[in-house]
Amino acid sequence: MFAVSVEHTFSAGHALRNYKGKCENVHGHNYRVRVRFEGEKLNPTGMLIDFTDVKRVLRAATERLDHQFINDLTPFTEVNPSAENMAKYFYEELVTGMSGVADVPAMLKEVEVWETDIQSASFRP
């Protein structure tokens, strides 16, 4: 099994709804997002998936949230902007953005979102 991971960072603010504690107040993070693709075969060039394609799609997904108040953006007007929900959001954005891009079957296996250097949440389908 082969695996390819790409990370990207962005900064944004949010506030957790239905939460009692500091995080119910507006605050910000320097987020880090890592996506991991896996597959059994490599393309004729010897790659599972092109890093350039993954970076392009991941940057587009994070750019929409960069320096924004996440609670004001769809789907987070309805869905609480927790790290767990953000990981699922990025998973869905990457699956859509990467459809038809790879030469060989590569599956997005995990998205991990860090709010700090020591705290992260992930989504796996």
The per-residue pLDDT string of the chain (125 residues; one tens digit each, 9 = 90 and over) reads: 999 999 999 999 999 999 999 989 999 999 999 999 999 999 999 999 999 999 999 999 999 999 999 999 999 999 999 999 999 999 999 999 998 776 667 999 999 999 999 999 999 99
- Which is the catalytic residue, given 7, 23, 24, 63? 23
Which SS3 state, helix, strand or coil, does residue 98 take? helix
The one-character DSSP state at 63 is H
Of the residues 38, 40, 67, 92, only one is catalytic, namely 67
Has 110 been annotated as catalytic?
no
Closest by alpha carbon to 94, among 58, 120, 125, 63? 58
Give the count of domains, the chain.
1
Which domain does 118 fall in, by range?
2-123
Query: 42: domain CATH number?
Result: 3.30.479.10
Structure tokens at 66: 């960069």
Query: Do 10 and 31 form a contact (C-beta atoms < 8 A)?
Result: yes
User: Is-catalytic flag, 78?
Assistant: no
Phi, psi torsion values for 30, nearest 5 degrees: -100, 95
Report the distance separating Cα 11 and Cα 13, nearest Å: 7
Is 115 tagged catalytic? yes
* pLDDT at residue 104 in the model: 67
